[in-house]
Amino acid sequence: MKAGYVAIIGRPNSGKSTLLNNLLGQKVSITSPKPQTTRLPIHAVFEDDRGQIIFIDTPGIFGKVEDPVSRKINPLAEATLNEGVDVIVYLVDHTRDRDVEENKTFGIVRNSSKPKILAINKIDIKEPSFLPHYKFMEEEFDKTLEISGLYKSNLNYLIDAIFDCLPEGEKIVDNSDRPTPILNLDSKTFLAEIIREKAYLFLRKELPYTLTSVVDEIITRENKTVYIKARIITTDDKYKRMIIGERGRMVKEIGMAARKELETATNKKIYLDLTVEADPHWPEQLI
């Protein structure tokens, strides 16, 4: 059998997290239209009769690293490729032209000696397309595929290509008794990620990348309801007011959306106690 670690890398919003979720058939990484959604590499396992793939969903590489969060994310993404990765899947969004971020990401990938697969994403979108601008990259890769991570087009061929590149080996993890394919996030971290995703979706462009979320407590009560105490943390009182919204409407909508998704995922009744606070120093504790 074959087994190994596979890093998915690309610039922000190339579709890495959506691709991973659909490769696994289960949500393991949060998504949103905003860059910088993925902050931590997510490790998740895929397995079939050919072997085992440990996928690593890396944060997007930023061209400019002006804020404290981005300054921590870029080195983390780069370091992932140097930590025992067996195959690299480089995801390109052909609907956007090449820019500083793309060139920086491509430079990191081409310097690796590991087997590399170029996956051209979003082929379901015909226009705009800058596909000719990416053709020159193909000679740097062992395999090139056109896929749609969102609509699951050609993902079976991507899995085939990954297994072709993986080394022979025994299983890396015993996945038989795991309730989820995620390997490196505990329950509190994953729940906090769901809350952060909903905050991004509801706040859209109204809020800079100045928020995070933390789950402080998870308790299963006697009536089987799961009580979750969580906080959205931002850097300034003015952002706190925006997150709370008029008469608390915004934070209620965020909490309701997070609760509904958690109830669907766990098939349990959820009570989410969600508050908002300001702490200008939270980015210092990131990662």
Residue 73 sits in a domain whose CATH number is 3.40.50.300
Provide the domain limits for residue 197.
187-285
Q: Both 191 and 135 in a single domain? A: no
> Does 159 fall in a domain?
yes
List beta partners, residue 47: 52
Residue 251 sits in a domain whose CATH number is 3.30.300.20
pLDDT for 108 equals 87
Task: Provide the CB-side half-sphere exposure for 190 (13 A, CA).
Answer: 19
> Does 177 fall in a domain?
no
- How many structural domains does the chain have? 2
Q: Both 230 and 127 in a single domain? A: no
Q: What is the pLDDT along the chain (287 residues), one digit of tens a residue?
A: 999 999 999 988 899 989 999 999 888 776 765 555 555 677 888 999 999 999 988 776 545 545 555 555 556 666 666 667 999 999 999 999 999 889 988 988 998 899 999 999 999 999 999 999 999 999 999 999 999 999 999 999 999 999 999 999 998 888 666 656 766 667 888 889 899 889 988 887 666 567 889 999 999 998 889 999 999 999 899 999 999 999 999 999 999 999 999 888 778 899 999 999 999 888 777 55
CA of 141: how far to CAs of 5, 37, 93, 106, 115, in Å?
17, 27, 16, 11, 7
Residue closest to 77 by CA, chosen among 66, 67, 86, 88: 88
152 backbone φψ class: left, alpha, beta (φ>0; ψ -120 to 50)? left
Q: Both 60 and 195 in a single domain? A: no
